[in-house]
Amino acid sequence: MKTNYKIYIAIIAICISSISQGQEQHIINIGEIDEDGRSIDKETGEIKESYINTKIVDINSVLDITLDKTLLTSKISKDPELPTELSEKISELHNALKNREENLKAVQTLINSYDFDTFERDAVGTQAYFNDLSTIVKKVDDITYIDDRIEDLTLKYDDKGPFGSVYFAAEEVLNELTKEVEEIATKNGVYVQFGGWIVAGGRQTPLNIPGYDDIKPQDPFQVDRWQLLPSPEQLEQLEDLQKLAKDNRGKEDEIIKSIAKNHLDQMRGIIDATIRTIQDKIDEEIEKVKEIGLDISEQSSFDTLKSDIDEVKMMIKNLKEELIRRKEFYTSIVSNPENIALGTFLSNMQNDITYIKNEGKLLLDKINSVSTTLTGIVGDFGTKIESIKEVFSELKTHYTGIYNKVKNTISSRIEQFLYGQKLDFAALKFSEEVYKFTLDKLPQSSTFDLINSGVRKDGDQLAFKLEVTGKDGVIYTENRKISMFRVLPHVEGTVGVIFADPLARTSVETQFQLAPYYNVIFKGFLDRKARRKSITYNRLLDWGVGLHVSAPDFDGDDVPELGAGVVVSILNDYVQSGIAVNVFTGDPYWFFGLRLPVPSFNIGNVRTNN
């Protein structure tokens, strides 16, 4: 009898308090196999769930790429050229099957934990139990109504259990429906393409994904995970930095002053004299209109307009006064660089950027609003205020230019630094070397070793794109972006210059002396989970501790000395500080280096990946 599975379900005492909610579904599914093997479940040999479809992968990992053809079919089945009923059935069956394994496992767990004696003594619990039972039976029963063939096929899979039989029957029907879609799609000229790019240094380079294209592979390149010695490139940099330190010896305080001064120049651009001049012009033109005289209706409109202009002037005044107040902090640094407080300096710069971006946008919106109102005024009144229109248009053009300059040179760089380069997937076009597959011929999996993505560094990105096209153009597209960082424990070598402050009497006349250094920094040993979850963490909050070697010249004889010590690097090496000892004299000194992702601030180190 066709309804045997329902009777069987009713007899089995099981319940599910809640059905697990599926995660966001992807056609493109990418799992990571890292060098340490921690991504593989030792019991199943499969990639752990936490390593699938992540936003970040280790820079030397292997990617296991799979395409969900069932989900792809459900997307393609929505094409208007395909039968609506076929599309609906595929979508419903796909949704019903997506959590099958989790649901069956939960059911089996509840079956094994059933205790008749406990339920016999608990009437309330028993009633709730059967309510839940009724709910789950209905959910399974609903699957059989999607297609008539499912209920017939449950007997074929009777050995799979009451729930399993329905799911296996539904899967068979879904496969049959999928074949129908594949046949129709092939007849209609539907093709699928899949490809990948590495995005590095502002360039998008196509990658060879085995099985999906005939693109020439990149030269293999392994990013050095255990860098103890400086690379040839870093040795050259050290020579240049030694010359830099020597040429600027005695000017260290001036360098710190210039850092603050450059930031001051950025702020001055927003409150320059040109805006004040334009404001004066607006006031003059308003007085001229008053002298001309307005009728009653014009006067009312003019009063409203003047109120809006006064609001703009007040917003400019408030912005100017606030920036003048903020300038005092940097002015004090220019005057007394030895009083610099690193934490306060970093915090103030971040707050400045946020303030300029937010308040500047509000002011620009108001200026645009008033400008639009002025432009829309025509007739005699429009003619009388024509000069106001022209001057206000000048204000709009000038301020828009200032705001966009600040935004593009500071805010956008901060955003890119924190979250990575924005990708325009529409601009990523498949080359002729990327194969076009009919749906039935599309490979479902591939393995891509990141070593074959060529030269890369922390923060570079991978872009993957799947596109389905028909006779009338694109039917469906899916994009994925992944950032690459050194996530696993590693040793990183950095070179740069420090500001060294000797703690003993030396011939150094300034508070600090510039000196080149090489650091060996240990990273990723305690914060691996954070590195996998957050791009911002990798780009800004990354930290490490290590060994420090530098070459100061405290005795002023132009012969570099050797210093060795320990260093703490925080904020992704943007702040480094530590203590070292002059090996020749035994005298200690402390040091720091600074580097920020804005044009006006870049003193400290040069990082390279090898």
- Are 183 and 201 found together in one domain? no
pTM of structure? 0.65
Q: What is the pLDDT of residue 522?
A: 96
Q: What is the pLDDT of residue 386?
A: 87
- Are 289 and 316 found together in one domain? yes
- Are 401 and 437 found together in one domain? no
The Cβ of residue 578 has, within 10 Å, a number of other Cβ atoms equal to: 22
Asked if the structure places residue 314 within a domain, the reply is yes
Separation CA 276–CA 257 (nearest Å) = 28
Separation CA 468–CA 182 (nearest Å) = 13
Whether 500 and 588 have beta carbons less than 8 Å apart is answered as no
Q: Considering 393, 419, 445, which residue would you say is the last residue of a domain?
A: 419
Q: What is the pLDDT of residue 165?
A: 86
Residues 6+ apart with CB under 8 A from 144: 150, 151, 154, 166, 169
- Are 336 and 369 found together in one domain? yes
Query: Cα angle at 494 between 492 and 498, to 5 degrees?
Result: 140
Asked if the structure places residue 355 within a domain, the reply is yes
Q: What is the pLDDT of residue 374?
A: 86
- Are 281 and 330 found together in one domain? yes
Asked if the structure places residue 579 within a domain, the reply is yes
Asked if the structure places residue 443 within a domain, the reply is yes
Asked if the structure places residue 494 within a domain, the reply is yes
At 449, which CATH number? 2.60.40
Residues 6+ apart with CB under 8 A from 494: 518, 519, 521, 569, 573, 605, 606, 607, 608
Residues 6+ apart with CB under 8 A from 607: 492, 494, 573
Pairing of β 490-502 and β 588-598: antiparallel
Q: What are phi and psi of 579, to 5 degrees?
A: -135, 140
**Which residues sit opposite 602 in a β-bridge?**
595
Q: Considering 419, 444, 476, which residue would you say is the last residue of a domain?
A: 419
Provide the 8-state DSSP code for 485. E
For residue 1, give the amino acid letter.
Answer: M
Find the farthest-apart pair of alpha carbons in the chain and give their distance in angstroms, rounded: 101
- Are 11 and 142 found together in one domain? yes
Question: C-alpha distances in angstroms, 152 versus 6, 104, 172, 468?
Answer: 13, 21, 12, 34
Domain that holds residue 292: 252-419
CA torsion 261-265-268-274 (nearest 10°) is 140
Q: What is the pLDDT of residue 286?
A: 82
Residues 6+ apart with CB under 8 A from 73: 90, 178, 181, 182, 439
Q: What are phi and psi of 298, to 5 degrees?
A: -65, -35
Separation CA 146–CA 134 (nearest Å) = 19
Asked if the structure places residue 220 within a domain, the reply is no
Q: Considering 370, 386, 419, which residue would you say is the last residue of a domain?
A: 419
Q: How many domains does the chain have?
A: 4
Q: What is the pLDDT of residue 23?
A: 52
Instruction: Report residue 595 as tokens.
Output: 């580097």
**Which residues sit opposite 31 in a β-bridge?**
52, 64
H or E segment to which residue 514 belongs: strand 513-523
Pairing of β 605-607 and β 56-58: unpaired
- Are 499 and 561 found together in one domain? yes
Instruction: Report residue 369 as tokens.
Output: 């609003």
Whether 463 and 425 have beta carbons less than 8 Å apart is answered as yes
Residue 293's Cβ-count burial label (10 Å; 0-12, 13-18, 19+) is: exposed
Nearest CA to 56 out of 379, 541, 480 is that of: 480
- Are 193 and 307 found together in one domain? no
Whether 38 and 489 have beta carbons less than 8 Å apart is answered as no
Asked if the structure places residue 333 within a domain, the reply is yes
Asked if the structure places residue 410 within a domain, the reply is yes
- Give the pLDDT means over successive 10-residue stretches in the chain (610 positions): 44 33 75 95 93 96 94 75 74 78 66 62 67 68 84 84 83 86 83 94 91 95 92 84 71 59 62 67 81 77 86 85 78 63 62 76 87 84 85 84 67 56 82 93 96 93 94 90 95 88 76 86 92 86 92 83 93 86 91 59 48
Provide the 8-state DSSP code for 52. B
Q: What is the pLDDT of residue 8?
A: 42
- Are 307 and 351 found together in one domain? yes
- Are 478 and 509 found together in one domain? no
H or E segment to which residue 539 belongs: none
Helix (H, G, I), strand (E, B) or coil at 449: strand
Question: C-alpha distances in angstroms, 17 versus 82, 115, 121?
Answer: 38, 16, 20
Q: What is the pLDDT of residue 547?
A: 95
- Are 313 and 402 found together in one domain? yes
Question: C-alpha distances in angstroms, 212 versus 64, 150, 436, 455, 477?
Answer: 14, 35, 8, 22, 16
- Are 514 and 543 found together in one domain? yes
Whether 578 and 591 have beta carbons less than 8 Å apart is answered as yes
Q: What secondary structure, in 3-state letters, does 264-278 show?
A: HHHHHHHHCHHHHHH
